[in-house]
Amino acid sequence: DAKTTQPNSMESNEEEPVHLPCNHSTISGTDYIHWYRQLPSQGPEYVIHGLTSNVNNRMASLAIAEDRKSSTLILHRATLRDAAVYYCILRGNQGGKLIFGQGTELSVKP
């Protein structure tokens, strides 16, 4: 499975946008880019995923570089409730198991 690299931690102010980067230089052509987050004392939850085009949903946006070697998860207006560990994960087109890295711990200041 191809590997991802994320910063260990990031800080944001409440109600400001947050850009969480992920590098995946060894991504294969069929790998999807998935993002999950884990709120304190909870199991991970799905945030968004994409293949080549940028994606938007009610939680976030995913911007994928043209060469697909990096991507950015965008939270448009961070809230205190968005404080969590965010995981960027690559998955083949057959789905199945998730390989978690260390993720980025996002803290949000009031």
Partner 1 sequence: DADVTQTPRNRITKTGKRIMLECSQTKGHDRMYWYRQDPGLGLRLIYYSFDVKDINKGEISDGYSVSRQAQAKFSLSLESAIPNQTALYFCATSDSAGPGRTDTQYFGPGTRLTVL
For β-strands 104-109 and 9-13, DSSP reports them as parallel
Per CB under 8 A, 40 contacts partner 1: no
The nearest distance, CB 103 to partner 1, in angstroms, is 6
Both structure tokens of 101? 């890295």
Q: Quote the CA–CA distance of 88 and 39 in Å, as a whole number.
A: 15
The answer to whether 44 contacts partner 1 (rule: CB under 8 A) is yes
Query: Minimum distance between the CB of residue 8 and partner 1, rounded to whole angstroms?
Result: 10
Among 20, 60, 103, 106, binds partner 1 (CB under 8 A): 103
96 binds partner 1 (CB under 8 A): yes
List 29, 40, 42, 53, residue binding partner 1 (CB under 8 A): 42
Tell me how far, at minimum, the Cβ of 13 lies from partner 1, in Å: 25
DSSP track, 24-53 = -TT--TTPEEEEEEE-TTS--EEEEEESSS
- Told to check if 65 binds partner 1 by CB under 8 A, we report no
CA distance 75 to 92: 25
E strand or H helix that includes residue 21: strand 18-23
* Residues at the site binding partner 1, with contacts judged by CB under 8 A: 36, 42-46, 49, 85, 87, 91, 93-103
